[in-house]
Amino acid sequence: MRLGVLDVGSNTVHLLVVDAHPGARPLPAYSHKAELRLAELLDARGAISEAGVERLVATVQEALQVAEDKGVESVLPFATSAVREASNGEEVLRRVAAETEVELQVLSGEDEARLTFLAARRWLGWSAGRLLVLDIGGGSLEIAYGLDEDPDAAVSLPLGAGRLTAGDLPGDPPEAEDVRTLRRRVRAEIAKVVSEFTRYGTPDRVVGTSKTFRQLARIAGAARSAEGLYVQRELTRKKLEEWVPRLAAMSAQERGTLPGVSEGRSRQLLAGALVAEAAMDLFGVETLEICPWALREGVILRRLDHLP
């Protein structure tokens, strides 16, 4: 069957169309994205602005038309931290439902972490052993650890690259003091939860998912996306530590010229790098693997698990 996953995230609204059957690997058929950066469209009250809501409604309507054009039988719509944490989130959900007939399922931060972990587990297989999975989104950082398909520990922290850029790094390039202040805050937040994971022992493999980790790995020398999903890609803490001060000295336009960095994400890359560096350091990770599957694939896999 042909499924569509409609992901209303903090950075993008992404429709992923896949051909999927129980017991088989979901095969991507089409991808449609629109960059809204909802995490950056919050007003002083923490609400998504009227303009932001109108753009969201229009984007969902466009995605539904694309899904119909591509022969999608069923759409799985969900929203993450930007809608979940907006002070007018319920109003936004009602507006989207009234104008598009799409009822977005709002995932909790823990749900995001668990579904992303499921995707990484299925991609890597049982032989990967105990996994530590890190995912940096636009609005939050998800961390999960476990041996099975359901992790033993899963948390979500408000340390998304888009959120931190909008709230803590206003300059372009940012002021050195702003970077130092954000670095301290990020590390303090992550340090609060480290013990929840380390008590389970040392992971056999550490995995990074999400666009942020893929871009950081690429600028650090990993293979291009054009070389395919099955090429192993890694990010070392040593390389990341070398890149952080370089990214801090660059403007968003300069970061956008780096290999693998999209113009829409270039401004967020420094904040994402600070979060990635802090997580790898505090969890004692020297090298992590890049996994091409993440939250959207986890949603698809969970749906397939429940099909008759």
Question: What does the buried/exposed string (b/e) look like for 99-134 if buried means 16 or more CB atoms within 10 Å of the residue's CB?
Answer: ebebebebbebebbbbbbbbbbbbbbeeebebbbbb
Domain co-membership, 65 together with 141: no
pTM: 0.94
Over residues 43-76, the pLDDT tens digits come to: 778 899 898 899 999 999 999 999 999 999 999 9
Domain final residue, candidates 106, 125, 149: 106
Give the residue among 49, 38, 133 at the shortest CA–CA distance from 80.
38
Domain co-membership, 27 together with 173: no
Over residues 104-122, the pLDDT tens digits come to: 999 999 999 999 999 999 9
Domain that holds residue 263: 109-295
Domain co-membership, 159 together with 251: yes
Is the pLDDT score of 287 beyond 90? yes
300 occurs within a structural domain: no
